[in-house]
Amino acid sequence: MTSEPHQATLTPAEWEAAHDKLRAEEKAMTQAQDALAAKRRRMPWQRVTKSYSFIGPEGRTDLDGLFDGRRQLIVYHHMLRPQDPSPCSGCSMVVDQLPHLAHLHQRDTSLVLVSRAPIDEILAFRTRMGWSVPWYETQDDFFADNGVGGEHSFGLNVFIRDGGAIYRTYFTTDRGVETLGTVWTLLDLTPLGRQETWEESPEWVAQTPPFVWWRLHDEYPSA
């Protein structure tokens, strides 16, 4: 004896018709997300005029140093605190799902984590989690000046270097970080985007055909 299924069942033809309807809605959402990303690439920028200090495994650096020579920088503000008795599981789930950074590097984009915990505690926790993403200590106003503090205890900022200056171009927090984790969703947050010819981008953004730049992560030239 079998129990009744929880959902309605259909014939193959009926199922295909229902599935086609759902796919059409999914495609419409994808197109809406593409249009939103195009608007994001045209958002105005905020020039960074303040100096900030960070401590990494190699010592002290500034915001420019976090770019590691690349044009764009994505910064995730991880909630790890000094002597943290209970590291944030949500922030750590975000980091667990980050892509191999070689793909971002090929689009002239760096990604780093920053936290208020001391660097030795950061590195110990990074080792425990098996992560390799660059992670820095910051003790100045970098969090508060960039939207992280008060009601927003974590978040993600995007910066770009242009004409010798650094600009803040995007910020999100709360459920805005839930969809992150692929190369594509991260690049969609940046001013340059995926840099592929199908995208609606500002005229100054150099683009290549889609797919042609993709490689196995160990096949890219150094970037």
pLDDT tens, residue by residue, 110-135:
999 999 999 999 999 999 999 999 99
Instruction: Please tell me the distance from the alpha carbon of residue 25 to that of residue 20, in angstroms, as a whole number.
Output: 9
Q: For residue 76, with 0-12 CB atoms within 10 Å meaning exposed, 13-18 middle and 19 or more buried, which class applies?
A: buried
What domains are defined for the chain?
A: 36-187 (3.40.30.10)
Burial of 203 (0-12, 13-18, 19+ CB in 10 A): exposed
Phi, psi of 89 (to 5 degrees): -70, -35
Separation of alpha carbons 161 and 95, rounded Å: 24
What does the alpha-carbon distance between residue 181 and residue 75 come to, in Å, rounded to a whole number?
13
- Residue 152 pLDDT level (bands cut at 50, 70, 90): confident
Name the β-bridge partners of 168. 46, 159
Q: Over 80: is that where the pLDDT of 3 sits?
A: no
Tell me the percentage of the chain whose pLDDT exceeds 90.
Answer: 88
The confidence score (pLDDT) of residue 80 equals 96
Is 64 exposed, middle or buried, given 0-12, 13-18 or 19+ CB atoms closer than 10 A?
A: middle
Give the residue from 201, 198, 200, 223 showing the smallest Cα distance to 211.
198
Residues 6+ apart with CB under 8 A from 8: none
In angstroms, what CA-CA distances link 84 with 75, 77, 95, 124, 135? 21, 15, 17, 12, 16
* pTM score of the predicted model: 0.91
Range in 3-7, 49-53, 205-209 the model is least confident about: 3-7
Residue with tokens 């014939």: 11
* 16-34 per-position pLDDT tens digit: 999 999 999 999 999 999 9
What average pLDDT does this structure show over 94-122?
A: 97
